[in-house]
Amino acid sequence: MTVSSIGDAILPAVAHPLVAGALLAGGLIVVLAAMARRRRRPAPGHPAASPEQANPVAPSPSARSVPAPAAAPALEKTMTKASDLFVACLEEEGCEYVFGVPGEENLDFLDSLSRSRKIRLILTRHEQGAGFMAATYGRHTGKAGVCLATLGPGATNLVTAAAYAQLGGMPMLMITGQKPIKSSKQGRFQILDVVDMMRPITKFTHQLASADNIPARVREAVRLAQEEKPGATHLEFPEDVAHEQTTSPVIVASQVRRPVADDKSIRIAVDRIARAKSPLLIIGAGANRKLTSRMLTELVEKTGIPYITTQLGKGVIDERNPKYLGCAALSSGDFVHRVIEAADVIINVGHDVIEKPPFFMKPGGCDVIHIGFRTAEVDPVYFPQIEVVGDIANAIWQIKEGLAAQPHWTFESMVRAHRAELDHTAAAVSDMRCPVYPQYLVDQVRKVMPSDGILCLDNGVYKIWFTRSYPAHMPNTFLVDNALATMGAGLPSAMASSMIFPNRKVMAVCGDGGFMMNSQELETAVRLKLNLVVLILNDNSYGMIRWKQANMGFEDWGLTYGNPDFVKYAESYGAHGHRVTSAEGLPALLKQCLDTPGVHVVEVPIDYADNDRILNKDVRELSAALPV
């Protein structure tokens, strides 16, 4: 191509306005760059100025030379692995233990947990045991107990424990793993919609889809678990999210105070109680809080108003108090129900509909004052006339301050009914038969357990004997499940209690059926070097259902089975095995086991032959014959 031909090609293009503008701009840039270079180049014969010469103010001879300040570096947020951040959030919440059975999808979390100096992993032999232990931790401390499981079958094994905590008002946080949610090559292997599965049995359930959201979601899960009414929460932590990096900081819990009851509602309640003829306190599950216990005790001491409890209210006030008139262990027809019938005003503290109601309201019956964290859940048998809503301890304190004992109050009928119950029980506690009589067993256990000793009941017909006749001296020393009423929780509950209170005596009371549902946790108890006693009440059957079967007039069928040698079974796990062979030997054996370190399993052959006669017939007839 010739020079003339190149010119012919360029000239038409330059004539275009856009091209001409571009060329002009380019030329200006070249000129400005050349001028800048000339300014930086020193003039001929003159050296470049030093930093000192460039300073227009000459320093004094005594002044120190100060280096020019360095440019401030750009602030960079530290990257943190998501599983490390999760563990840091748990530490901030005061978590001490994570109970669980980890799986492949939990390995990042497990690795992060291994570096924590504040949280201890408690490896259990079944996720259900881990859940029961976490729930019991929450029950004792008021802080959310934390448990861990993998996806699929691990998560489904937590379902019963979730319901146990949710219905029983125990704060608990469940963490489950999941396959990668952003890219997975395993199809649907082991995958269930765990978040949806947990929704009906938790207060909060959520899948963590981003590492950035971990602090907020952990804070929310713990907050809701611990907020009244306490219960279960759940977070699903997928494998790929656990491995992500994030700059999100830990969120610190805020300072929160519960609202207190309205002054006017307090005055209305005080006025109605003062005008009553025979007021009665009923202590329910929601009253089982430390400060509430103290306020209720002071109220009873100041006013002399008697009280009864539900099963979950046992121990809130010391039951050696002469104003204690019994526990509503049976649904109806017991001596305690005659106590209730003698009242014209019931002060129902911490009522929770998850328990069988200790009384049924009816139109024209006595007035009921509902005192709770929340308003009453109304149904055909519970529609209180007065409600005091707010922090229960504060409400009781306000009522105590405004109320005095009234000279017209009378409690004679109530006391007479309770005295009849005590006399009826006393007649049976000296029965020395073997297999052991339930009333004798309860009496001997109470005698060997110290006031701060913790008794943890599984679920069976023995629960009725213990709730009726075992006086609890302190809050949370009588752990019974009267909400979900699941079998299998007695041993894990005792294990958690022993961990939290290592210097207190702890005893689990289990039926043979309930014990075998989580008996594998004996290995966990031995490995943790716990000190506890496990009573196995052996009747080779599902005794509670046999009792119901007899009460309903059905044939005794379909509820008996065989059992292993419990002594050898205990020893195979490294525990101490014992067997009661006479009623006379029971007290000494119980004391020996409580005073000797280690895990002790005591098989107690039990005689339930009189259950139907006593609980379904005698108690009803004797209580009904009492004058009101």
Residues 463, 503 within the same domain? yes
**pLDDT, position 48:** 41
Q: For 65-102, what is each residue's pLDDT tens digit?
A: 444 555 555 556 788 999 999 999 999 999 999 999 99
Domain identity same for 85 and 199: yes
Do 96 and 242 lie in a common domain? yes
pLDDT at 45: 40
At 170, which CATH number? 3.40.50.970
**Domain shared by 372 and 447, yes or no:** no
Please tell me the chain's helix, strand, coil percentages from 3-state DSSP, rounded to the nearest 5: 45, 15, 40
* Residue in 543, 538, 585, 545 with CA at minimum distance from that of residue 565: 538
Please, what is the angle between helix 107-114 and helix 82-92, to 10°? 50
Inter-CA distances, 405 with 152, 274, 298, 300, 393, Å: 59, 8, 13, 10, 20
Strand pairing class (145-149; 478-479): unpaired
The count of other CB atoms within 10 Å of the CB of residue 111 is: 14
Nearest-CA neighbor of 605 among 440, 447, 363, 495? 440
| Residue 474 shares a structural domain with residue 544 | yes
pLDDT value of residue 73: 53
If asked whether residues 86 and 125 sit together in one domain, one would say yes
What pLDDT does 183 receive? Answer: 75
* pLDDT on residue 182: 83
Note whether residue 34 is domain-resident.
no
- Of 214, 246, 278, which residue is a domain's last? 246
Same domain, 302 and 224: no
In single-letter form, the type of residue at position 605 comes to: P
pLDDT of residue 187: 62
Residue 50, in any domain of the structure? no
Whole-number Å distance between alpha carbons of 255 and 247: 25
Q: Is residue 89 part of a domain?
A: yes
**Residue that terminates a domain, selected from 388, 416, 444:** 416
Q: Tokens for 399, please give them.
A: 């009522």
Domain tally, the chain: 3
**433 with 411, same domain?**
no
User: So what's the pLDDT on residue 291?
Assistant: 86
Classify residue 391: in a domain, yes or no: yes
Q: What is the spatial distance between Cα 348 and Cα 287, in angstroms, rounded to a whole number?
A: 10
- Is the residue at 272 inside a domain? yes
Q: What's the pLDDT score for residue 242?
A: 96
Instruction: Tell me the C-alpha distance between 218 and 251, whole Å.
Output: 9
Residue 18: strand, helix, or coil: helix
Q: Are residues 477 and 569 in the same domain?
A: yes
Low-confidence ranges of the chain (pLDDT < 70): 1-76, 184-187, 628
- pLDDT recorded at residue 341: 95
CATH code of residue 361: 3.40.50.1220
Q: What is the pLDDT of residue 31?
A: 41
Within-domain flag for 160: yes
Same domain, 374 and 328: yes
CA atoms within 13 A on the CB side of 595: 7
CA distances from 340 to 309, 330, 346, 614 (A): 11, 13, 8, 21
Residues 90 and 186 in one domain: yes
Distance CA 180, CA 185 (A): 9
Of 246, 273, 304, the one marking the end of a domain is 246
Residue at 397 is within a domain: yes
Cβ neighbours of residue 388 under 8 Å, at least 6 residues apart? Answer: 261, 262, 265, 266, 269, 369, 370, 371, 372, 395, 399
pTM given for the model: 0.86
Tell me the residue ranges of DSSP E strands in 208-262. 232-238, 245-246
Q: How far apart are CA 539 and CA 465, in angstroms?
A: 15
318-329 confidence digits (pLDDT tens): 999 999 999 999
What pLDDT does 411 receive?
98
Q: Is residue 39 part of a domain?
A: no
Q: Which range of residues forms the domain containing residue 109?
A: 80-246
> Do 326 and 357 lie in a common domain?
yes
CA–CA separation, 625 vs 142, rounded Å? Answer: 44
